[in-house]
Every structure is written in structure tokens, then in C-alpha cells.
Amino acid sequence: MTILIRADDVPARQRREAWRSVAAELLGPLDVYVDPGVPLRGEMHADSLGPLRVGRVQTSTPHGVRRTAGQIGRDSRALSGGARDFRESAVAAGRPGLAAAQR
């Protein structure tokens, strides 16, 4: 898998925004929450398997993500014909997750 971001390679002041930006490219517009003062550590990887985009997030930093209705509505990756770009995710601490951008 291709490494998209390694947090330690980004200056500390830019790390959270860089992390959010890469996550948003993979999943669409979103907010990332990390408690103030907690260092962000980890990597994001991704690759394509045909039409399926497969990604892996490895981090020891407690964090959360949220996509509001407005962010979803502004997502430019709607499918042709006006259909929505549905995503599925399965994530558990320490377990691999799966996110599908198309069905």
C-alpha cells in the first residue's frame, strides 16, 4: 500500500490539518477531533483494487471523525445521474477497517 501521510514527517504545527486533509481526500469532507495537547502519531495508507479504494489508518492517538449533513451534501464525488456516493466503513480499535466508496 502507498503511504499517503506519516505524521512524524509533517511539522507538529501542520500535522492535524495535514491529517484531516488526507482523511478528507479518502473519505470526503469531514472533521477530525484530537484532544488538545495530545501528539498526533500514525500513518495512512491507500491503494485501489479495481473500483474499490482500500485504506488503512494506523495510529495510537485517540481521535474521532465526523461528517455532517452539510459536508456530505457538499461532497463533489456524487455518482453520475445524481446518485449519491455511498460509503461503508467497519472500524474497531486495533482491527482493520473497510470503506467502500461505490456499491
Residue 95 has a pLDDT of 53
pLDDT tens per residue across span 42-95? 999 998 888 877 888 888 899 888 888 888 888 776 544 444 455 555 555 555
How high is the pLDDT of residue 82?
46
Domain count, the chain: 1
Q: What is the pLDDT of residue 99?
A: 53
Region of residue 17 (left: phi > 0; alpha: psi -120 to 50; beta: else):
alpha
Kindly compute the dihedral angle of the four CA atoms of residues 2, 75, 97, 3, in this order, to the nearest 10 degrees: 10
B/e letters for 2-31, b = 16+ CB within 10 Å, e = fewer, are eebbebeebeeeebbebbbebbbebbbbbe
Range of the domain at 13: 2-100
Return the closest-CA partner of residue 45 out of 23, 75, 68, 60: 23
Number of residues written out for the chain: 103
pLDDT at 103: 44
